[in-house]
Amino acid sequence: MLKVREKVCQRQVDKLKQGLAATQSGINFNNRVPQPLHHRVVAEMAKDSPSNPVNNISPVEVSGNWVYANAGETAASAAAQEATWGGLCATGHEQSPINVVTKDVKQATTAAISTHFKTKATYVKNTGHGFQVFETSPHSSIYNSSADIEVSIDDYSGSSKGHSMIGGDKFNFYQVHWHTPSENTIDGQSFPLEAHFVHQLDDPALHGTYHRLAVIGLLYELGTDDDCNAFLDKFWSTFPIDKKGVAEYTGDNFDLNAKLTEELSHGYHHWYGSLTTPPCTEGVSWNLLKVREKVCQRQVDKLKQGLAATQSGINFNNRVPQPLHHRVVAEMAKDSPSNPVNNISPVEVSGNWVYANAGETAASAAAQEATWGGLCATGHEQSPINVVTKDVKQATTAAISTHFKTKATYVKNTGHGFQVFETSPHSSIYNSSADIEVSIDDYSGSSKGHSMIGGDKFNFYQVHWHTPSENTIDGQSFPLEAHFVHQ
């Protein structure tokens, strides 16, 4: 949200109010009431941030040459990672992994995480950077030793691998992989092994991208030789040990749901971060289980042996912890509601959602809560908010720059406000003879350009207006607010 404000006159505000009243049964405003901040922190970006976004991107090309350490080093090297990872890995301010400082975590309540996996492993994989079961493809895959490895294991045939309910939303399960030593640390303590169960929000538009990911993390403590992890031993010896590749798995199917249900019941730490390997995409929902499992040295050594064979002798695969910056880690209680269905409002989100009830003259929290439902009611990172300026934290990141390429051929009353351009990633051509919903969402036309935000490229979609403003500053509302929407 920009700190500078523009002027608007009453005539212009009244024009929008008139349009809203005509399409919202007399309700002449379109603002959601401010939502609780919960554990979030608002950051203030300095006005003298670097103005050229190109200079905020590391010139290092992210490729297969990124390393955890230089040859001969015996632990993860921040210098080697910084020198070879580049891009958002170097410039991002919400990177992972992190060190969780337990005295600083904030208590929070949200829907319990539940897993609903439907998995059958037919192979296991040494990726060259670790051990992995299942694929990032949103579908399960069939082992095929005669086909090219990169094609066969990413094949989209097969059934869904199931999902998890995380924060009240559905995330498809993709794959699980392991790091040694752990990437995330607790009060500075590292652990011998960490598992990452990787998910993505259930939205077909996201397939093939790194956006809207979620990770359930599980730490392992080192036990004695009698404490070898029985679950890992089901498949641990099957991983290729001397080279990158896959190996057929013919053992008994293993139940990941049973594995995680008990661990999830003890609660977890939550924050937003990034992928822990290039390209280090941010916006990842991290959920690190508080309970830990046991692993024995034999099992850790198996992974180390596989890593050394594929990483020129480097037998570890952990990124060094990253600065927390303005982020806050939330602690979800172990007694959160266990049934995710109960955490979703039974109200169906439809065209009947309203800003207020008939006759009301201002946005109604009660009316919105009663008719919006779903994540609108259960989410703990909702918008808009009230920005309390005395509580904001100073931060530095790449300056935002806009690179729009727009040509408007129509304007639109959506029924809930005024809008220019479409959410479609392409500009659209006005066609009065065609159905309005088809013509304005047509994908013909040129790109509408992009903005560089936080050092990353976001395509510009559309701009629309709210009256009064949705976000407030120190409790003060404003007559108009514009939202320039990107992805």
Alpha carbon 112 to its chain centroid, in Å, reads 18
Structure tokens at 272: 């937003």
CB contact set of 50 (below 8 Å; sequence gap of 6+): 56, 398, 399
Per-residue pLDDT of the chain (487 residues; tens, 9 = 90+): 999 999 999 999 999 999 999 999 999 999 999 999 876 778 888 776 554 433 333 333 444 589 999 999 999 999 999 999 998 899 888 999 999 999 999 988 777 899 999 888 889 999 999 999 988 665 545 555 543 333 233 333 334 689 999 988 899 999 999 999 999 999 999 999 999 999 998 877 677 778 889 999 999 999 999 999 999 999 999 999 999 999 999 998 888 898 898 899 999 999 999 999 999 999 999 999 999 999 999 999 999 999 999 999 999 999 999 999 888 999 987 765 444 333 323 334 456 899 999 999 999 999 999 999 877 886 767 999 999 999 898 877 678 999 998 888 889 999 999 999 876 654 455 555 433 333 333 333 346 888 988 767 788 889 999 999 999 999 999 999 999 998 7
pLDDT of residue 416: 95
Residue 469, classified by CB atoms within 10 Å of its CB into exposed (0-12), middle (13-18) or buried (19+), is: buried
Residue type, 276: T
Q: Partners of 426 in the beta sheet?
A: 447
pLDDT of residue 103: 96
Residue from 118, 119, 136 nearest 127 by CA: 136
pLDDT of residue 421: 86
102: how many CB neighbours lie within 10 A of its CB? 11
Q: Partners of 198 in the beta sheet?
A: 175, 215
3-state class (DSSP) for residue 30: coil
Residue from 147, 221, 143 nearest 180 by CA: 221
CA pseudo-torsion sign 462, 278, 217, 93: negative
Are 217 and 286 a contacting pair, CB within 8 Å?
Answer: yes
pLDDT of residue 48: 67
Structure tokens at 296: 């024995």
Residue from 457, 449, 402, 379 nearest 2 by CA: 402
Residue with tokens 């559905």: 170
3-state class (DSSP) for residue 161: coil
- CB-based burial, 412-431: b 16+ in 10 Å, e otherwise: beeebbbbebbebebbbeee
Q: How far is the C-alpha of 131 from the C-alpha of 124, rounded, in Å?
A: 8
Strands (E), 18-93: 43-45
pLDDT of residue 183: 99
Calculated CA dihedral for residues 415, 416, 418, 420, nearest 10 degrees: -80
DSSP per residue, 119-138? ---SEEEE-SSSEEES-SSS
HSE (side-chain half, CA atoms, 13 Å) at 299: 28
Calculated CA dihedral for residues 272, 274, 275, 280, nearest 10 degrees: 170
Q: pLDDT tens across 156-206, in order?
A: 333 468 999 998 889 999 999 999 999 999 999 999 999 999 999 887 767
338: how many CB neighbours lie within 10 A of its CB? 14
Residue type, 119: T
223: how many CB neighbours lie within 10 A of its CB? 16
pLDDT of residue 414: 92
Residue from 288, 83, 327, 71 nearest 189 by CA: 288
3-state class (DSSP) for residue 79: helix
Strands (E), 88-239: 99-100, 106-108, 114-117, 123-126, 131-133, 162-166, 169-179, 185-186, 193-201, 213-222
3-state class (DSSP) for residue 270: strand
* Global pTM value: 0.65
Residue from 240, 57, 282 nearest 143 by CA: 240
Are 468 and 480 a contacting pair, CB within 8 Å?
Answer: yes
Residue from 423, 409, 455 nearest 94 by CA: 455
Strands (E), 290-411: 293-295, 330-332, 386-387, 393-395, 401-404
**Domains by residue range for the chain, with CATH:** 10-47+376-486 (no CATH), 61-332 (3.10.200.10)
Q: pLDDT tens across 417-447, in order?
A: 999 987 665 445 555 543 333 333 333 334 6
